[in-house]
Amino acid sequence: MQTVQAADVGAQAPVTLNVAGEAWRFSIASVTRVGRELFISVVLQGADICTAVVHVHDHIEWGVTAREILNSACEWLLARGTERHVYIELAPALM
């Protein structure tokens, strides 16, 4: 198992998501690799401060996987109600 904290790789400008007319800053706090899988800890800052853990299975397609993560975060923000934390399981890619 290997964990990399965001502070270890330098500050990156967060992505801003526009969800239902509200701006949310999306930033990655850490990435943990367990075998061939990734667990990505995300902070979402908008009306509330929310966190998510995104489980990415062994096949990562650059650009495609990132888009899936962002889309999943937006979908959750739309449906979350008062929840402030979520575990997002991305479906394994079909090869």
Which pLDDT score, from 0 to 100, does residue 46 have? 94
Mean per-residue pLDDT pooled into runs of 10, the chain (95 residues): 51 78 92 91 95 89 85 95 95 63
pLDDT at 3: 46
Asked if residue 95 is part of any domain, the answer here is no
Rounded CA-CA distance 25/83 in Å is 17
In whole angstroms, what is the distance from residue 87 CA to residue 72 CA? 10
DSSP designation for 46: S
Range of the domain at 74: 2-89
42 domain residue, yes or no: yes
Is residue 72 situated within a structural domain?
A: yes
Q: What is the pLDDT of residue 10?
A: 53
User: Tokens 């198992």 correspond to what residue?
Assistant: 1
Per-residue model confidence (pLDDT) at position 12: 60
The confidence score (pLDDT) of residue 71 equals 94
Number of domains in the chain: 1
> Would you say residue 10 lies in a domain?
yes
CA distances from 62 to 22, 65, 66, 68, 69 (A): 27, 6, 7, 11, 11
Quick check: is 59 in a domain?
A: yes
* Residue at 94 is within a domain: no
Task: Give the 3-state secondary structure of residue 24.
Answer: strand
